[in-house]
Amino acid sequence: MCAVYQSNRGVLFTRWYIQPLEKLKEIPNGDGAFVALTISCILYERYAVTVITRSGTKVTDDAKRQQLTIDFETDKNTAEAFWNIIRDGLAHEGMPLQKQHGKSMPGWRFRHDFLKPMELANENGAPILLVQPWRFMDKVLSLWLDNMHLLDLSSSFPWGVIRYE
């Protein structure tokens, strides 16, 4: 019996990520946004690592945050807060980070009516990170759709295929 491999990255990216993420939008009260944001952070990190590697720069957390400032047209403080609070928190513990080494982090709020994917604002004299999960997700998906060829460039995490027998 001969094995057939499906390796069209665009088809698989759509099946594995775009379709499931879009289905999350159908969950009432925006409750799918939390999971969509988490998955989008993972996808964004893969994208950022690939772009940084291709540029010949060493992949560091600072380089990833710098890439975030470029891709999301934001400032360094916002990118750093987003990476530390949202990306690190969701990736490591499933919740935004609120304390690091005993130091309090800015608060956070998710809302569908925020105009930007992320913004570090001030509320009652305290910093707060405002996140619009769907805008973040849409931007990450757009980056990938415009750069599908990058999916094949990770030697540590090669893009998968589906094998039929």
- pTM for the model: 0.91
Residue 5 confidence class, pLDDT cut points 50, 70, 90: very low
Structural element, H or E, at residue 100: strand 99-100
- Per domain, the residue ranges of the chain are 7-97+136-153
Mean per-residue pLDDT, 62-90? 96
19 vs 36: CA distance, rounded Å: 11
Decide if 119 contacts 78 (C-beta within 8 A): yes
Residue 4 has pLDDT above 90, yes or no: no
Decide if 10 contacts 165 (C-beta within 8 A): no
Mean per-residue pLDDT, 21-32? 95
Coil vs helix vs strand at 55: helix
67 vs 52: CA distance, rounded Å: 8
Q: What is the CA angle 54-76-115, rounded to 5?
A: 100
Decide if 108 contacts 128 (C-beta within 8 A): yes
Percent of all residues in the chain with a pLDDT value above 70, rounded to a whole number: 95
Decide if 82 contacts 118 (C-beta within 8 A): yes
17 vs 118: CA distance, rounded Å: 21
Place of tokens 């969950």: 27
pLDDT tens readout for residues 91-140: 998 899 988 888 889 999 999 999 999 999 999 999 999 999 999 999 99
Residue 6 has pLDDT above 60, yes or no: no
User: pLDDT at position 7, please?
Assistant: 56
Decide if 67 contacts 60 (C-beta within 8 A): no
Residue 162 confidence class, pLDDT cut points 50, 70, 90: confident
pLDDT tens readout for residues 41-71: 999 999 999 999 999 999 999 999 999 999 9
